Amino acid sequence: MLSPFLAYLLSGVLLCRIARCQYSSDQCSWRGSGLTHEGHTRDVEQVYLRCAQGFLEWLYPTGAIIINLRPNTLSPAASLLSVCIKPSKESSGTHIYLDRLGKLRLLLREEDQAEGRVHCFSIQDGALFIEAVPQRDISRKITALQYELVNHRPGADPQSLSAPCQPCTDAEVLLAACTSDFVARGSILGVAEDDDQTSVTVSLSRLYRQKTQVFVSGGGRAKRWTGFVKMPRQCRVKPGEGEFLFTGTVRFGEAWLSCAPRYKDFLRVYQDAQQQRTNPCHLDTD
pLDDT digits (tens, 9 = 90+) for 94-141: 999 999 998 999 999 999 999 998 898 989 999 999 999 987 776 789
CATH fold for domain 162-276: OB fold (Dihydrolipoamide Acetyltransferase, E2P) (2.40.50)
User: What pLDDT was estimated at residue 160?
Assistant: 58
**Using one digit for the tens of pLDDT, what is the confidence trace for 30-82?**
999 887 755 555 678 899 998 989 999 999 998 999 999 988 776 666 777 88
Strands 197-210 vs 182-193: parallel, antiparallel or unpaired = antiparallel
CA torsion 173→176→177→178, rounded to 10°?
Answer: 130
Q: Would the pLDDT of 153 be above 70?
A: no
Q: Return the closest-CA partner of residue 281 out of 209, 211, 204.
A: 209
User: What pLDDT was estimated at residue 221?
Assistant: 67
Q: Where are the domains of the chain?
A: 23-154, 162-276
Q: Would the pLDDT of 19 be above 70?
A: no
CATH number at 23-154: 2.60.120.290
pTM of the model: 0.72
Q: Are 85 and 55 in contact (CB under 8 A)?
A: no
Q: Radius of gyration over alpha carbons of the chain, in Å?
A: 22
Mean pLDDT of 230-235: 82
